[in-house]
Amino acid sequence: MIQRGFDGCFGPHSCRTSNKSREVPASAAPRALRPVVCLRWGPRAALEECSADQHFHPFASRVQQCGGSWVKVLRSESSRIFPSPLPRHDFGKEATEKTPLLSKGSSPFGVIDCDKSSSNKPSSANMGIFYSLRERLKNRVLLVDVLAALFGMGAWLSINGMYTQLPLLVFNAPEGWGLPSYIVVLIQAANIGGVIYGVMQQFCKGKVSDSLFISILMFIGCLSLLLMSFFYGQTVEIGGNLHSVPLLALVFTCALVACTSSVLFIPYMSRFRETYLVSYMIGEGLSAFVPSITSLLQGVGGNPVCREVNSTDSIKKYEQYVPPPLFSVSTFLVLIFCLQLLSFISFILLKTLPICKKQRNSQSSSSYKNNNENEGVRSSMMPSSPEKGRSLTSDGDNGRGSAFMTESHDFESSPSPVTAQTKKMNNMTYTVFLIMQACASALANGLFPAIQSYSCLPYGNVAYHLAINLGSMANPVACYILFFVTFTSLSAISLIAFPTLVVAVFIFVTATMSPEPPLVNTSSGEALVVISWVLFTGLVSYIKLAIATRFRKNGGKGLFWYGAMTQVGSAIGAVTGFALLNYTGVFKSYSPC
């Protein structure tokens, strides 16, 4: 007979001292109390192998906390029940502590038939993963998941939706190909919303609730999209030049909602059980995916052409003509407005429905009540140690940070590549990562969105349209890839950064050589520029989130400096792009006429 300690579920071993076997003499326990274990897989033990006249002591519930779907039944050869109940094992204790599952004086147990139990035995790591997944899916309300996802989708929906319309807007706006540079600067300026919210939290405690602040922001976002759908084409003369003042003003108000959501929406979701934060983050990823899919269906009608204008003069006149898309910009913005309104309604339902209130954390709910809903549980969003958090997602083009959730289960699951212990970074590695993050943010959030029109439009409006929308879809895809394939070492991230830099140089060269970049007026050139932008967006998104994951593992104030360098880099890139496009002659536009 063999005594085996399996994950501390029986025997004097703890949960972490598994798969150790030793022979036990048959006389180790009194014959009258010598136990036998019937062990089978599945939700129930195979009791048919034990005699019907014998007594059983099932303790499947405790075993499942340690071994997933393992079920074990004890029986005594003398038809006697064990003299005392099994004590509850503290699965949070360190591996060095040995908590016996039977009281002192009881028979040692864990004698199993190895021939029947060792075959087809899954690894304890897999059992822990399956049990963790089952626990996450259990006791959750699908309605709350849907509402949380819709609420998260409204965070960056307006900005991402408007950004996909740039291939259509640049031909009608007086700013022309320079319109993206104005929008990028306005988005960076909208970060003032987060600063205002922080000041209000500091000096107006107990006067303005988070939920009221969110409601105001969501209302502003809905109203801005509705007004934009009617007035995006209106212009105002300033200093003798026409400018798209209504469009730019409404873009700024939409950006206020998006930028402030990073410091307001996620902390609000921490009121609910941690599983619903995943749903929120999925919805936030959809805020880029849904507008991109809709814009791809909309199309751009084709590349601009030069056509003759009917006139009474003998002199022929030509004008640039852009074929119309499947539906207009106004229709698209109305659709995005409906989605934003749906997100607003979802937030109201999350706040008011009784079934949603039941899914809140009791501790955080009482905390909010005591502080008039002002003091969120923001600190609970960040794990106190690297082992207690799990990175969820998403550091996208908009400078969103990563969100984390703490584990509240009573068992220790096997460490994943994301949650495993990581050696502390030295000062040089720490500094290099911060510089890389600032540079990546400057390019992806500031400079390159401003010059994208000059890089793509010489190859045609269709190329610009595909580069924007496929690039927006590559961002969340790269974040999901990181969840399964994680490279967070400096050497690995540097290796990924090298091809990213090569692609970035090619993109910048095509923009500076506008209107005659390499391979212009060829299908290969059009395909190459689209692929370059999609690769650049995906690789930069992966790099930024990988750096965030590394800082999260390192602990301390790493994520604070990560966010600070993201904002600094984005602001520098936006200002640089705006200055180059509007105050130098480096970038030149193109017209088919």
Q: Where are the domains of the chain?
A: 2-119+127-133, 140-381, 420-593
Question: Cα–Cα distance between 427 and 438 in angstroms, integer?
Answer: 17
Contacts 24+ apart (CB under 8 A), 116-125: 116/39, 117/4, 117/39, 120/41, 122/68, 124/6, 124/7, 124/18, 124/19, 124/67, 124/414, 125/414
Confidence class for position 119, pLDDT limits 50, 70, 90: very low
Q: Cα 231–446–301 angle (5° rounding)?
A: 50
Reply yes or no on whether the pLDDT at 503 is more than 80: yes
Residue range 420-593 in CATH 1.20.1250: yes
Three-class DSSP category at 287: helix
Average of per-residue pLDDT across 401-427: 44
| Best CA proximity match to 161, nearest among 47, 58, 287 | 287
Environment class of 137 (CB within 10 Å of its CB; exposed 0-12, middle 13-18, buried 19+) = exposed
Residue found under tokens 């599983």: 275
CATH topology of domain 140-381: Growth Hormone; Chain: A; (1.20.1250)
Mean pLDDT computed over 422-442: 88
Both tokens of 468, joined, read 């924007």
Tell me the residue ranges of DSSP E strands in 223-273.
236-238, 241-243
What's the pLDDT score for residue 85? 41
Say which residue the tokens 């147990």 belong to: 109
Specify the DSSP class assigned to residue 443: I
Q: Higher confidence at residue 528 or residue 485?
A: 528
Confidence of residue 37 (pLDDT cuts 50, 70, 90): very low
**Sign of the CA dihedral 491, 495, 397, 481?**
negative
Three-class SS of residue 406? strand
Q: Which residue has the higher pLDDT, 554 or 244?
A: 244
**Element at 63 (helix H, strand E):** helix 60-67
Preceding peptide of 449 cis, ω within 30°: no
**Which residues share a beta bridge with 317?**
309
Question: What pLDDT is attached to residue 173?
Answer: 92
Cα–Cα distance between 227 and 383 in angstroms, integer?
42
Q: What is the CA radius of gyration of the chain?
A: 30
To which residue do tokens 């259509």 refer? 168
Of all helices (H) and strands (E), which one includes residue 308?
strand 305-309
Strand partners, 74: 37, 57
Residue in 25, 27, 6 with CA at minimum distance from that of residue 16? 6
Q: pTM for the whole thing? A: 0.69
pLDDT band, very low/low/confident/very high, at 218 (cuts 50, 70, 90): very high
Residue 117 — pLDDT band, cuts 50, 70, 90? very low
Average pLDDT, the chain: 73
Across 66-208, the runs of DSSP E, i.e. the strands, are 71-76, 111-112
Q: Given a cut of 70, is residue 523 above it in pLDDT? A: yes
Contact status, residue 460 vs residue 526, Cβ threshold 8 Å:
yes
Q: Are strands 305-309 and 317-321 parallel, antiparallel or unpaired?
A: antiparallel
pLDDT(380) > 80: no
Q: State the Cα–Cα distance between residues 442 and 236, nearest whole angstrom.
A: 31
Q: Identify which has the larger pLDDT, 321 or 159.
A: 159
Local structure of residue 306 (DSSP, 8 states): E
CB-based contacts of 253: which residues, under 8 Å, 6+ apart? 220, 221, 224
Distance of CA 445 to the CA centre of its chain: 17
Between 515 and 560, name the one with better pLDDT.
515
pLDDT computed for residue 267 by the predictor:
85
Average pLDDT over residues 200-227: 88
How far is residue 366's CA from residue 362's CA, in Å, rounded to a whole number?
Answer: 6
Highest mean pLDDT among 24-38, 171-185, 394-408: 171-185
Q: Which residues contact 164 (CB under 8 A, 6 or more apart)?
A: 291, 292, 294, 295, 468, 469, 472
Tens of pLDDT along 137-183?
667 788 999 999 999 999 999 999 999 999 999 988 999 999 999 99
As a whole number of angstroms, the distance between CA 332 and CA 219 comes to: 19
Distance separating alpha carbons of residues 270 and 527, to the nearest angstrom: 43
Asked if 529 and 470 count as a contact pair (C-beta separation under 8 A), the reply is no
Q: What is the pLDDT of residue 306?
A: 83
Residue 68, pLDDT > 70, answer no
Q: Residue written as tokens 């599952």?
A: 101
Residues 6+ apart with CB under 8 A from 286: 149, 152, 153, 476
* Spatial contact of 573 and 445, defined as CB atoms under 8 Å apart: yes
**Burial call 536-546: b when 16+ CB within 10 Å, e when fewer:** bbbbbbbbbbb
Instruction: Give the span between the Cα atoms of 101 and 10, in whole angstroms.
Output: 6
For residue 127, give the nearest of 74, 64, 73 by alpha carbon: 64
How far apart (Å, rounded) are the C-alpha atoms in residues 569 and 295? 29
3-class state of residue 42 by DSSP:
coil
Amino acid 366 reads S
- Span 319-341, average pLDDT: 92
Fold agreement between 140-381 and 420-593: yes
